[in-house]
Structure 1
Amino acid sequence: MKTNIINIGNSQGIIIPSVLLRKLNLSFKSSVEVEVENGSIIIKPVPRQGWAEAAIQMNVAEDDKPLLEDSMTDFNKEEWTW
């Protein structure tokens, strides 16, 4: 995909097409790592930090239970067409 370098304030940048952002699950203000490798600019998504540890702590504290009970009714199970 071709794009151009544009002025952004006192800096320059490129506009990344939304189709590419969706493919990488990125959005406005997503963190990325930018590096130069073999004469190319590489942009990599940076995964959110600390989520795995927080999930483990929630599980240990038994604070990861559903807030609502399962609302599946007999109607949902037998009569509804999924």
Structure 2
Amino acid sequence: MAYLVRIGNSQGIRIPKSFIEQADLEGKELKFEVVNGGLFIAPVNEPRKGWAESINKVLVTHG
């Protein structure tokens, strides 16, 4: 079970640790979508994140 908690003028969701572990959400940026009157929470998928830095390292090392 998750609960809404007041944080200043906003509200946050307190999610049990077991759910965070099962969904592999620890330390990740999350996106929220309203789906059929409910809330869908998922990690932001950035499949190419870090590619530019990796390529630059290879070019500097081998260039």
- TM-score, L = length of structure 2: 0.65
Partners of 1:5 and 1:14 within 8 A in 2:
yes
Q: CA RMSD in A?
A: 2.3
The number of residues matched between the two structures is 60
CA offsets 1:19-64 (integer angstroms, 9 cap, x no match)? 222331422xx4211111222211121256741121111112217x
Q: Relative to structure 1, is the Cα distance of residues 4 and 52 closer, same or farther in structure 2, using a 3 angstrom cutoff?
A: same
Structure 1 outlier segments of 4+, above 4 Å: none
Structure 1 residue runs without a partner (length 5+): 64-82
Which has the higher Rg, Structure 1 or Structure 2?
1
- TM-score, L = length of structure 1: 0.55
Point out the structure with the larger strand share: 2
